[in-house]
Amino acid sequence: MREYMNGRIAVTQGDITTFQVDAIVNAANKSLLGGGGVDGAIHRAAGPELKEECRKLGGCETGQAKITKGYRLPAKHVIHTVGPVWHGGDRDEERLLAECYKNSLQLAVDNGLKTVAFPSISTGAYGFPIEKAAPIAIGTVKEFLENHPEIEKVYFVTFSDRDLEVYLRTADRILSG
């Protein structure tokens, strides 16, 4: 398996529900009650307790983030963030996607968490082009980490071979320069 490691940022391929980190990030829908893709996989792996805690949170707006326990996951917590649906780029999608990463990391800092794993937010059913999403994700995280030494490691966990290749090329370009 090909991976990219540069200091505090890593790009890898795998099943995010198996990562032993302080928090995994869920690419959630606004209800926070589960759905397809990463969201469904996280809810299934965490067990019904996750959905019960999410019910009490009252949903989440696009670009924002909320935190729960990890329950049956190896991760101690789940940070739920709602990515933007892609409408061609004229509805502030890029800013909203960056906010997902910033707000998720800020929640990690606020809760004393040191390791976080992100999926590729909004690039599945929400249709955000991965070629546009990967630079936003990696660039936003890089910038956040420059001012927050308390975060020790951030993983970008891709699912498909194609997504991995895009993230590897993007990481090499942004982090090696």
Question: Do residues 113 and 23 touch, judged by C-beta distance below 8 A?
Answer: yes
Picking from 95, 82, 80, the residue whose alpha carbon sits closest to that of residue 50 is: 80
- The whole-number pLDDT of residue 177 equals 64
Sign of CA dihedral 20, 27, 62, 128: positive
Token couple for 73: 């996951």
Beta carbons within 10 angstroms of residue 168's beta carbon: 19
Q: Considering the entire predicted model, what is its pTM?
A: 0.97
**Active-site annotation holds for 39:** yes
Catalytic position from the list 39, 110, 161, 172: 39
Please report the pLDDT score of residue 67 as a whole number.
98
* pLDDT the model gives residue 1: 58
Positions of E strands within the chain: 4-6, 9-13, 23-28, 65-69, 77-82, 115-118, 153-158
DSSP labels, 37-53:
HHHHHHHHHH-HHHHHH
- Is the C-alpha dihedral spanning 30, 35, 37, 39 positive or negative? positive
Can you give the pLDDT at residue 173?
95
Output Rg (C-alpha) for the chain, integer angstroms. 15
What is the chain's pLDDT, residue by residue, as a tens digit (177 residues)?
578 888 999 999 999 999 999 999 999 999 999 999 999 999 999 999 999 999 999 999 999 999 999 999 999 999 999 999 999 999 999 999 999 999 999 999 999 999 999 999 999 999 999 999 999 999 999 999 999 999 999 999 999 999 999 999 999 999 986
